[in-house]
Structure 1
Amino acid sequence: MTTHAPAPPDTSRAAVAAVDLVKVYGSGDTAVRALDGVSVGFGRAAFTAIMGPSGSGKSTLMHCLAGLDTATSGTVLLGGTILSGRSDRTLTRVRRERVGFVFQSFNLLPQLTAAQNITLPLDLAGRQPDRELFAHLVGVLGLGDRLGHRPSELSGGQQQRVAMARALVSRPEVVFADEPTGNLDSRSGAEVLGILRNSVRDLGQTVVMVTHDPVAAAYADRVVLLADGRIAGEIDDPDQGSVTDALRDLAAGA
């Protein structure tokens, strides 16, 4: 385990990267600089956690990387594609075809079955699911006897597993996970994090996760630390103790 200052991002090798990213909300005296010149890359087939104190800009960074929000200035690259300055229509297509999402609130459509929720992004894109991958994910996630159930008939952990299958079934370039264990008990949370970890190992998936939980961050290969809208450091091979210490130092202004 090592903690160090971040190196400049190698955008040619990153699955997704930000270069000199600035995001300002509001204007004049009420303007808030949520991101202040952030440059960071996220490697392919790796699990990276983004952490920092409340208001550090971690969710804003994820939203800009995923094309859910637009930066005030700077550049976001998904693979070799520059997302900055693209139209809403183009960003919608990128999110649908190249990115997967796992949210704290699951974001399942209540009128659809688990199977229909899983394939929804592919259906919207006019693509057929890879049946072998679909079957693999259903098996790994333990959803075989739940595919005909609607979200209201599933536990929170089961709903999140459906959301994870939905995120992974399209083989996205990056899966963005925003506090994916926030609404789960510790056992279900550990299952979800283990599945994300295994998707990197077994499927070569790239995962970028925002979390406030040092236990969750310890599942990652790397932790990127933010404070006051800036990159404050990185932790390689994190464990719960190293993450807790780093967050304590950030909170103390060290």
Structure 2
Amino acid sequence: MSVAPPAHATAGVAVTARGLSKRYGAGQAAVVALDGVDVDFAAGGFTAIMGPSGSGKSTLMHCLAGLDRPTAGSVRIGDADLARLDDRRLTLLRRDRVGFVFQKFNLLPALTAEENIVLPLAIAGRRPERAWLRQVVAAVGLADRLRHRPAELSGGQQQRVAVARALITKPWVIFADEPTGNLDSRSGAEVLRLLREAVDTLSQTVIMVTHDPSAAGHADRVVFLADGRPVRDLAAPTPERVLDTLAGLDHARVPAAGHPAVAR
């Protein structure tokens, strides 16, 4: 895959959270999904977020991506402080500077693959850069499927459309939420290869929530959560090391009094 890097600088930190907390409900019935999280995500890196059920990993991603407002704390994406953005500016940030890959693809069935890929630009009233579009389409191997609608594509092809859609705006960061959850092992491996190449070749930043040790093995780093807090940080992960760490978390996990986690 030979493509130009995104237009933004890749040195330093792409996403930062400080004192990030998310509480649902109030009083004794309150549940804490995130409990004072401090974490940085390096620009141009591939980070996986893992943890037992109820550890807060999906809530963390939603707060990092501006899809949910935290109860307390701050998130910065690039030079943007999400807490200082009103709903309109936050929507614009997500549209223009953040790419998303979801478990359920989230493609529009009436649109072709190409139309789904360029949808974020169409919504913004912008025309795609034709050279960049060709490069992205070639990178995900969809040149012969651009006129097909989602129902005419396999699950793996639909997810490749979603990856291309995430790349088309040259975002500061791509968030991938269980991107292989609805795919067979072969298609899942292909999507993970694409995300890995987006980091290695496009200098893209990818943050992925996953429960799959094999998927996490494609990352540069794994951040493990338990009861709403980061508890382990694993560099150069392998599936075996990830499994061992997860087993240790399950064995040691004891919910803190007054701070029950919510499964999200």
Q: Which range, TM-score by smaller chain? A: over 0.9
- Tell me the equivalent position of 1:116: 115
> TM-score, normalising length from structure 2?
0.90
Matches of 2:107 and 2:196 in 1, distance apart?
22
The answer to whether structure 1 residue 56 and structure 2 residue 55 are counterparts is yes
In 2, Cα distance between equivalents of 1:130 and 1:226: 39
Question: What CA deviation, in whole Å up to 9, does each residue of 1:57-92 have, x standing for no partner?
Answer: 000000000000000000000112110253221211
Deviations 1:36-67 (A, max 9, x none): 00000100100000000011000000000000
Q: Deviations over 1:130-185 (max 9, x none)?
A: 22221112112111111111111111000000000000011000000000000000
What is the rounded CA distance, in whole Å, between the counterparts of 1:81 and 1:179 in structure 2?
25
Once residues 203 and 55 of structure 2 are traced to their aligned partners in structure 1, the CA distance between those partners, rounded to angstroms, is 29
> Residue 99 of structure 2: SS of its match in structure 1?
strand
- Structure 1 partner of 2:4: none
Question: How many angstroms apart in 2 are the aligned matches of 1:72 and 1:228?
Answer: 16
**1:170 partner SS:** coil
Query: 5+ residue gaps in structure 1?
Result: 1-11
One-letter amino acid of the counterpart of residue 212, structure 1 = H
Q: How far apart, in 2, do the equivalents of 1:209 and 1:151 lie?
A: 23
Structure 1 residue identity aligned to 2:62: H
Q: Hey, what's the Cα distance between the residues in 1 that align with 2:62 and 2:204?
A: 19
Aligned-pair identity in percent equals: 62
Deviation at residue 13 of structure 1 after TM alignment: 2.8
For 1:19-58, what aligned pairs fall within 5 Å after superposition? 19-58=18-57
User: 3-state DSSP class of the match of 1:39?
Assistant: strand
Deviation at 1:246, TM superposition (A): 0.4
Task: Quote the Cα distance in structure 1 between the aligned partners of 2:169 and 2:245.
Answer: 35
State the alpha-carbon separation in 2 of the partners of residues 150 and 220 from structure 1.
31
- 1:122, CA displacement in angstroms? 0.7
Matched, 1:211 2:213: no
Map of 1:175 onto structure 2: 174
1:223 and 2:222 are equivalent in the alignment: yes
Which piece of structure 1 moves more, 82-91 or 178-187? Answer: 82-91
Aligned to 1:98: 97
**Structure 2 equivalent of residue 187 of structure 1:** 186
SS at match of 1:233: strand
Q: Give 1:128 shift.
A: 1.9
Q: Deviations over 1:85-143 (max 9, x none)?
A: 53221211110010000000000001111000000001111222122221112112111
Give the corresponding residue for 2:140: 141
Amino acid paired to 2:111: L
Give 2:38's aligned amino acid. Answer: S
Listed as ranges, the gaps of 5+ residues in structure 2 are 1-10, 254-264
Distance 2:232 2:140 in 1: 34
Q: How many residues in Structure 1 have an aligned counterpart in Structure 2?
A: 243
Question: What residue identity is the alignment partner of 1:36?
Answer: D
SS at match of 1:251: helix
Coordinate RMSD, CA, aligned: 1.1
Give the Cα–Cα distance (whole angstroms) in 2 for the partners of residues 90 and 56 of structure 1. Answer: 30
Other-structure match for 2:262: none
Which SS does the other structure have where 2:218 is aligned? coil
Q: Partners in 2 of 1:44 and 1:238 — Cα distance?
A: 18
Partner of 2:71: 72
Q: Which residue of 1 aligns with 2:163?
A: 164
Separation (CA, whole Å) in 1 of partners of 2:201 and 2:84? 35
Deviation at 1:27, TM superposition (A): 1.2
Query: Deviating runs (4+, > 6 A) in structure 1?
Result: none
Cα-to-partner distance string for 1:227-247 (whole Å, 9 max, x where unaligned): 000010100000011100000
TM-score by length of structure 1 reads 0.94
Cross-structure match for 1:6? none
